[in-house]
Each structure stands twice: as structure tokens, then as C-alpha cells.
Structure 1
Amino acid sequence: MGHALITAGTSGLGRMVTEAFLRAGHSVTTTYRNNYDKANEVKNELAAYRDSLSIVQADVTKKHDIGNLVNEAVKNYGGIDYLINNAGPFIFERKKLLDYTEDEWHDMIGGNLDAVFYLLKLTIPFMREQHFGRIINYGFQGANSASGWLYRSAFAAAKSGLVSLTKTIAFEEAEYQITSNMVCPGNIVGEMKESRIAESRKQHDDSTPIGRPGTGEDIARTILFLCDKDSDMITGSIFEITGGLDVINRYR
């Protein structure tokens, strides 16, 4: 079994990913940014895995925090086999580019693109040494074609750049048996981010062609599959997990 570094894995779409890796027998280092109470709640919920779980406070927009995070993971578990870049700031207010402040722009680019650069620089050496590694980045529906996303210019720009980086790393690191892929969640909102598929099937969602809302478990199952040692032929790929919903154009 290996060690997974999962950013922002105590809440939202990262919560079920953390649990999935633990249940599969892996150890996990994950992070929270501000919500200590939520992180502690998750720690208690996953008490059965206390020896395999480390939760670290970290802000991925800060290079220093990223360095401390990787050092903590390596100190506790010896290396990193899986890098799951789940964390990344998002501005929920819908506004055009000219209404963004410089700080908001830099947070979007820094947290969603620069942070991945720093994490790759720090973790790939461990993966190269062992000739194995799995990298998963998060995008958005349509990112593969660099779709414009009205009112989400900074976020879309960062994630579209991350698409290219995801593919480039796949090419560059293939000789070391390191894969790099991206998952693009659909419109998974509210409590469904931390819900299971079984709960989702009890609800009908008219807006999603598949007929049910997406869940955090949908994302976790996909990521766990892509991280399997026998999934090495899948690299440089972008996976949309939307249930057939056109997320971007739905809001235009």
C-alpha cells in the first residue's frame, strides 16, 4: 500500500477521496485551510484509521505551507505515491473580469495553478526514485477545450492552464511510470459533495441527464481507479464526471 497526499481532504469533494484511500489500505496526509472544527470532526469519524491519517493545516496559496506539508508527509510516511490536488480557491460571486481585484486574480492563479507547480516539484522526485507515481488534478467541465466560462474568468484561466500542465507532466514523467490525469466534477453541490452514491439514488435530479445528483463518492471512485497500479495506460487524460450535464452553459 502507498501514501496519498490529498489537499483539502477534510471537506467538500476531497472528503470522500480521503476516506476512499484509507478504506483501500493506503495512508493519507491531508489538509484543511481554516476550519479546524471540521478537520477534527473528520479525524474523529475516521478514528479507525488514526495510524494511517495525518491532517495538516495548510494554505495552498502559500509556498511555505506547501513545503511544510510535503515535509510532514515524508517525515511521517517516508514518501508520496499519490498526489491529489483537490484544494483550490473559488470565488462564488458571479462577476466579470474587470470586477476582479488583483488579489482575487492572484489567489485564483496561485491556488489553482501555482500550487500544483510547487507540489509537483516537491513530490515527483520521490515518485521518480521508486519508478511509480499517480498525479490527479481537478478541473471543470469543458476545461479540456479551454472553454470560456462566463463570470469565472480567473478560475477558468487557471484550470485551463492546468489541463496543459497535466498533459505535459504525463509526457515528461511516463518513463518513470508516473501518470498524470485530471478529473472534472459536474455540478456537485451542498451536502452531495460528501455523500455516497446510494444516497444520491434516492433523489431525482431533472437537470442531470443521468437522473441523479453527482456525489463526492463519484469523484473518489474515479480517482481511486486512476491511481491503481494497473491504470498506467491511462495518462494525460481529462475525465468529465457530470452525469451528462453541461455545467457551463447551464448558467448562461
Structure 2
Amino acid sequence: MLVEDGKIGIPIYKVVIFSNGGIFMRHAIVTAGTKGLGRKVTEELLENGYSVTATYRSDHKKADELAQAFKKYENALQILQIDVCNPGQLSDLVRSAYERFGRVDCLVNNAGPYIFERKKLMDYEIDEWNEMMRGNLDAVFHLLKDVLPIMRRQQFGRIVNYGFQGAQDAPGWIYRSAFAAAKSGLVSLTKSIAYEEAEHGITSNMVCPGNIIGKMKESNIMDSRKYNDEQTPVGRSGTGEDIARAVLFFCNDASDMITGTVMDITGGLDVINRHR
């Protein structure tokens, strides 16, 4: 898939035609891309002509389900078991994606540890704090160190990170202090990369999902509209498709003017303050 120009040493990429007749010109890495919100992102990317390297941490069953459900895209889909808290495994991820598909165009940092138990900062264990920081902030740093050189050579790249409602204003979030601190730091990193890498054709943006839970994470918008959600002002629950549509928008070739943007996708629900 990769041909070197003998004169100037710049990678020149062929259009790849796979056995199913599809043509895939862009490759995306989606961390935690085999279930939940990440699965819908993987699905939408595949169905819109991207090849995808999706990762999972431990749920082999969900990884197998994705592979079987999208068997027609087997030449365009690579699934790897990766712990985003392990920098060495993150380097292996980027290397595997590049070796198989010859490029990395989009990095979707969907993975991020989350502690569902509601507790104050004083009740966090040190290991829990470290996991929040390593999985939600440090992991992005390590991945950027590996993918940005590739994207600079390509003069094209799309970085999409995940935050939470209002993250760009660094709000306090009761019972979620560690997660909120990591994601607020990620907002600044997202915008800093947008400034630093713009000259290389690389954009960096963030999506901030609202209260999307349970089966809605892997559901689509039409399914959500069948049920009234009294808590959400728009009248329906958010879905994985809502998030995937935003990610696809940021990844689009024509979205080069959109960088350093933080997009809330909440349906008008105040996620942070609803438990106060």
C-alpha cells in the first residue's frame, strides 16, 4: 500500500481496492472502538469508506461481535487488544495500524476510564486518580507522539478527543473530580495541538457527549425517537449515532477550517448539575 518516491523520499499512497469492491482512502484509529459509543463511530467510519483499526481492553465477546457483524469489511477492519494506560501498547497500536494500512488519517480518542461510583475527591484511592489521568489524558499524549509524525508527512490529519458537557470552561463536577480534571486538561491539549499542527493540515477537536447510557450507546437516532425522554429538553435520549455523526464531521476532508472546537452534544440536558 505504500510506495516511496525515489527522488524525494515522500510517501505516495495508492488507492486500495479491497475484495468487497470498496475503495478506502482514509484510515482511522478508534480506541475502545468495539462497543458503546466507540462501536458506533467504527460502524459509521466503515460505512463511509474509511478503514479502521479499533481497539478493546478486555471484552473479547464484543470485539468478536463487531468482527462478525462487519465481516464484509474484514479487509478494512483491524481489531487489537490494547490497554490505553500502557504507553508501550499504544506505540504498538500505531505501528500495527500504519504497517497494515500504510497511513493514519484520523485518531479518535474514544477510550477513557471512568469511575461510576459517585464519591468525593477525598474518597479516591491514589490508583484510581492515576488511572483517570493516565487513561484520559496521558494516553492522548502518547498517541499524539506516535501519530503526529505520520500525519505531518501526509500533510493531513484529524484528531478527535472526548470531553464532557461544558468541559472547555473547566467546570467543577461533583463526585467526578478526577475524571473532570483529566478531561479539562485534555481541552487545553486539544486546542494547543490545533494551533501547533494547523500548518501541517492537521485539525484537533473535541466532542462532549451528554447522558448517553445503556443500549443507547450503540443505538441510532431513529430508535431513540420512538421513546420520550422527559429529562432531556429535546425529548429523546442521545445515542451513539449522534456522537458518531459529529466525529465523522470533524474527520471530513472539507472540515479543515474547523479546529480547536469543543462541541457539546447533550440535547439541552444539564448533565453536570442534575445531581446537585
Normalised-by-shorter TM-score class: over 0.9
What SS is found at the alignment partner of 2:84?
coil
Shift of 1:99: 0.6
Alignment match, 2:135: 111
Question: Cα distance, 1:230 vs. partner?
Answer: 0.7
Question: What residue in structure 2 maps to residue 131 of structure 1?
Answer: 155
C-alpha distance in 2 between matches for 1:27 and 1:193 = 22
Aligned equivalents of 1:248, 1:202: Cα separation in 2: 26
What SS does structure 1 have at the residue aligned with 2:205?
Answer: strand
In structure 1, C-alpha distance between the alignment counterparts of 2:84 and 2:220, rounded to whole Å:
27
2:87 counterpart of 1:49: no
Which residue number in structure 1 is paired with residue 205 of structure 2? 181
For 1:94, give the aligned amino acid: R
Aligned position for 1:219: 243
Shift of 1:198: 0.7
More helix, by proportion: 1
Residue matched to 1:10:
34
Q: Which is higher, the Rg of structure 1 or of structure 2?
A: 2
Name the residue aligned to 2:172.
148
1:26-53: CA deviation from partner (whole Å, max 9, x where unpaired): 1000101000111001110111100000
Give the TM-score taking structure 2 as reference length.
0.91
- Structure 1 unaligned segments of length 5 or more: list them: none
- Mapping of 1:199-214 within 5 angstroms? 199-214=223-238
Residue aligning to 2:102: 78
Correspondence for 1:38 among 62, 65, 84: 62
Q: Deviations over 1:79-131 (max 9, x none)?
A: 20000000010000000111101100000000000000000000011111111
TM-score, length of structure 1 as denominator length: 0.99
What fraction of aligned residue pairs are identical, expressed as a percent?
63
The aligned counterpart of 2:117 is 93
Segments of structure 2 that go 5 or more residues without pairing to the other structure are 1-24
Instruction: Give the drift of 1:184.
Output: 0.1
Partner of 1:67: 91
Which residue in the other structure is 1:235 paired with? 259
1-structure distance, mates of 2:265, 2:130:
28
User: What letter matches 1:6 in structure 2?
Assistant: V
* Equivalent residue number for residue 166 of structure 1: 190
Offset, 1:71: 1.0
Structure 2 counterpart of 1:241, which letter?
I
1:87 is paired with a residue of what secondary structure?
Answer: coil
- Distance in 2, matches of 1:108 and 1:189, equals 20
> Which of 116, 120, 145 is 2:144 aligned to?
120
Q: What displacement does 1:75 show?
A: 1.0
* Aligned counterparts of 1:3 and 1:141: Cα–Cα separation in 2: 28
